[in-house]
Structure 1
Amino acid sequence: MVLLICCGIAFAACLLGTVCGMGGGIIIKPVLDAIGVLPVPTITFLSGCTVISMSCWSVGRTLLRREAALDLPVTAVLAAGAAAGGLIGKQLYTGIAARFPDPNTAGGVQAGLLLAATAATLLYTVNKDKIASKEVAAPAARLVIGLLLGMLGSFLGIGGGPFNVAVLYYFFSIPAKKAAQNSLFIVLFSQLTSTMRTVLFDSVPPFPWAILLGMVLLSIVGSEAGRRINKSIDNRQATLWLEGAMVLVMGISVYNIVKFLG
């Protein structure tokens, strides 16, 4: 039953996430936390591994089909910062989880940060036409932005979701669809270093291999289905899907805050 629940959520989350351009990781993690079928540390690890697999699949697919639209001067520096941020974010999560008698309580901290980040992203998305975007050129500033994105995605165990896209749009004036492609590389680097740290320092939580493999497979199937739906809707509909999905994530985050910290 747990296998079916986890795989079903991975499929549905990646389908919805691909349709609206926010990725599936931001949905998988809070939904599994809310259902509570596995401990929070295990869910964080499984979600991170699923995000890595999805990023590798999407990046490889894009490169093989020569559909990549990378802004390398920006993305390369951001990815380097995100790689370091992935290590720091994982260390922060491990430290915070260790402070609580019940490691699951850390899920409440994650939910609170996810709620704040998603609310800020939704507010920006709704008003982005009224806000002038920037052109950050300083390599040091780009590195810091990448570092912060990597820390956030790694700490939450969700990759990057709509946060990366919003940051790329605002700070670098990269259009939404192009930003989504560039975001995948940032997510890939941050989650790789985060997961490598977990494995190398022998802090991998117990997990069933069947669930991990099932989530990876179904997340890829879901993303492919979502990609087909995405092609059949216009930008206005995609934006409505995105805003609705963010409201859903915020609602689940509130539930998780009450569940773990209430």
Structure 2
Amino acid sequence: MHFVFVIIITFIATLLGSLCGIGGGIIIKPMLDAISSFSPFQIALISMSCVLTTSLTSVLKHIYHKTKISFKEATTLGIGGILGGLLGSFLFDFVKKAILDVNPNNGHNIIIIIQNAGIAFFMILVLIYMLFLKKRKVGFHLKNLIFVGIIGLLLGMISVFLDIGGGAINVCIFILLFSMDVKLASINSLLVIVFSQSAKFVQYIIRGNFTKNVTFDTILTWWLFVILISISVFTGLLGSHLNRKLKSNHIDTCYEISIVAIIIIAGYNVISKLIYLSNQTE
């Protein structure tokens, strides 16, 4: 039954990720934190692999159908995101070591609280913009690529530190700073995710994460991983198809519902872990 839930979560997350440009990792990460027995490395690997597969599949299909993509802005954001990802990884390792040194028994739970609290905080900001400021036509048309690269660096740092794809934030930034509608923003966000997640995968290899951690075991079997990747390919194709067919206001609604769901899930993780830690100290 545990495997069924994981498959359902991956299907929904990657489909919404492909449709709305959020990648899916920002749903997969907090959901697996909440319901799975996977190790932190396994959750990160599932999220990264599924998000990269879905995003790459979607982008390739959009390119095949000659969908409009702002390659200049998206590529600059992606390069900035790679550099920011390196900084975010360094910052996360520093914070993780500091926490585990002080509290080796419950350090991982504290890290989950910090990451999920960060996810909830940024998603609340995104929701406020989408529900109130966007409807008042608050936005810019940024052209300076230096500023675009700096924004990409900050987004990359946030996404890696929180262990998410970052797409939900990317979409909002594209709408706010480049005056895109949600359909175009979602497509360009997926391209940025391909950059950042590819760099993250390479970084995993260089740093030896696959040799330092257990990848497959009785909980995360190799065949379950293959199923999840296969689902990600399918949802990447389906989501990109729906993105081209649906109206922008429908995708807007899906995006906003996704943000609300992420806030609820992340909030639940923070509260449940805080309760757990408080019980441990009694």
Q: TM-score, normalised by structure 1?
A: 0.89
Q: Is the 8 A contact 1:153 1:187 kept in 2?
A: no
Counterparts in 2 of 1:1-262, with a 5 A limit? 1-67=1-67, 69-98=68-97, 99-100=99-100, 101=104, 102-127=107-132, 128-204=134-210, 205-208=213-216, 209-227=222-240, 233-262=246-275
Change (3 A) 1:89 1:211: farther
Gaps of 5+ in 1: none
Q: Which amino acid aligns with 1:16?
A: L
Change (3 A) 1:65 1:233: closer
Q: Which amino acid aligns with 1:27?
A: I
Q: Which portions of structure 1, spanning 4 or more consecutive aligned residues, are displaced by more than 6 angstroms?
A: none
Change (3 A) 1:195 1:104: farther
Deviation at 1:47, TM superposition (A): 0.5
2-structure distance, mates of 1:10, 1:171:
30
**Counterpart secondary structure, 1:174:** coil
1-structure distance, mates of 2:145, 2:236:
33
**Counterpart secondary structure, 1:122:** helix
**Which residue of 1 is the match for residue 219 of structure 2?**
none
Deviation at 1:104, TM superposition (A): 4.2
Deviation at 1:34, TM superposition (A): 0.7
Change (3 A) 1:202 1:21: closer
Change (3 A) 1:143 1:227: closer
1-structure distance, mates of 2:172, 2:232:
23
More deviation in 193-202 or 114-123? 193-202
**Counterpart secondary structure, 1:169:** helix
Q: Is the 8 A contact 2:85 2:160 kept in 1?
A: yes
Deviations 1:202-224 (A, max 9, x none): 12332223333221111222344
2-structure distance, mates of 1:136, 1:231:
25
Deviation at 1:70, TM superposition (A): 2.0
Percent of residue pairs bearing the same amino acid type: 29
2-structure distance, mates of 1:140, 1:248:
34
Gaps of 5+ in 2: 217-221, 276-282
- Paired residue total: 261
CA RMSD of aligned residues (A): 2.2
Deviations 1:42-75 (A, max 9, x none): 21222012111112211222223322x2223322
Change (3 A) 1:231 1:146: closer
Deviation at 1:119, TM superposition (A): 0.5
2-structure distance, mates of 1:66, 1:231:
11
Q: Is the 8 A contact 1:3 1:210 kept in 2?
A: no
2-structure distance, mates of 1:27, 1:147:
22
Q: Which amino acid aligns with 1:86?
A: G
Q: Is the 8 A contact 2:55 2:236 kept in 1?
A: no
Q: Which amino acid aligns with 1:253?
A: A
Q: Which amino acid aligns with 1:54?
A: T
